[in-house]
Amino acid sequence: MRLASNDSDWIARQIQLKEQWLEEGKTHSQARQYEEALAVCERVLELDPEYASGYVGRGDAYSDLEEYQKAIANYDHAIQLDPNLAQAYYKRGNVYYSLKEYQKALADYDHAIQLDSTDPKAHYKRGNAYSDLREYQKALADYDRAIQLDSNYAKAYYNRGNVYKALMKYQKAIADYDRAIQLDSTDAKAYNNRGIAYRNLKEYQKALADYDRAIQLDPDNAMAYNNRGNAYRDLEEYQKALADYDRAIQLNPNYTLAQNNREEVYRLLQGRKQKS
């Protein structure tokens, strides 16, 4: 049976309305207005209770609110309605990753990539899961693919650099941090981690410059202070090292590593006094 032209127009308007509302929900999410985003998705599903993308949107809102079980339930329902909806698997994988249920996350990322192998975010996120599981070669393969698909993917360069750093391939790590910083010069973590790589290569002045920049960008970054303290300790500039460890501990009183590093410097100073 053919639809009358006015019926076709009505259906087109409903589709357009649902899509507009979902975009409105995304705008609220980007502004961290998560309750408003949830309310918009509720309106979408009232309009069409069988709209799979509406459940994905509502799942996103619940995920942003850290109501993860509700998010999973919505992604499950979206997949029931449309088993070929790659974004539903990808988003559910992100929730499982947040819950550190890595095997479930990997299964969802696998499925998302099978359905859409051109999405760099899915490869990037799967790489993160493999990296957390210390399956570094698999992580590298996924980061490589993400970068092939999006050559300006700063986070993919940064995380690939982290894997190279973990593998002690410091020059490769530095090259990736260089590219990540070129793409996003405000990322304090990239400077901090490049500083670690330089310190491991005993290029202390470059390491110190990176730690300085990381601290400028994020003055409450306890890790950067601790790491700069390590570089000063290596250079036997013990008072500067102590000042940085003190600041790291002030920012994070439970920072055991910084406490241990400070105690080591006190022992080194005590040994210096005994020799003199």
Amino acid letter at 69?
Q
CATH number at residue 46: 1.25.40.10
Six token digits for residue 168: 């002690």
Average pLDDT, the chain: 91
* 176 is a domain residue: no
Total number of domains in the chain = 1
Range of the domain at 54: 25-83
* 89 is a domain residue: no
Show Cβ contacts of residue 238 under 8 Å, excluding neighbours closer than 6 positions: 232, 265, 268, 269
* 169 is a domain residue: no
Six token digits for residue 244: 């940085």
How many other C-beta atoms can be found within 10 angstroms of the C-beta atom of residue 217?
17
* pLDDT number for residue 36: 78
Show Cβ contacts of residue 210 under 8 Å, excluding neighbours closer than 6 positions: 191, 192, 194, 195, 198
Cα–Cα distance list, 239 to 184, 263, 266 (Å): 33, 13, 10
pTM for the full model? 0.87
pLDDT in tens, 18-59: 566 566 656 756 766 777 777 877 787 877 788 898 899 989
* 164 is a domain residue: no
Q: How would you label 176-185 residue by residue, b for 16+ Cβ within 10 Å and e otherwise?
A: bbebbbebee
* 156 is a domain residue: no
Q: What phi and psi values does residue 100 have, to the nearest 5 degrees? A: 60, 25
* pLDDT number for residue 18: 53
* 52 is a domain residue: yes
Residues in the chain: 276
* pLDDT number for residue 6: 52
* 239 is a domain residue: no
* 79 is a domain residue: yes
Nearest CA to 212 out of 200, 224, 194 is that of 224
Torsion sign across C-alpha atoms 241, 243, 245, 248: negative
Q: Where are the alpha helices (DSSP H) in 167-221?
A: 170-183, 188-200, 204-217
* pLDDT number for residue 45: 81
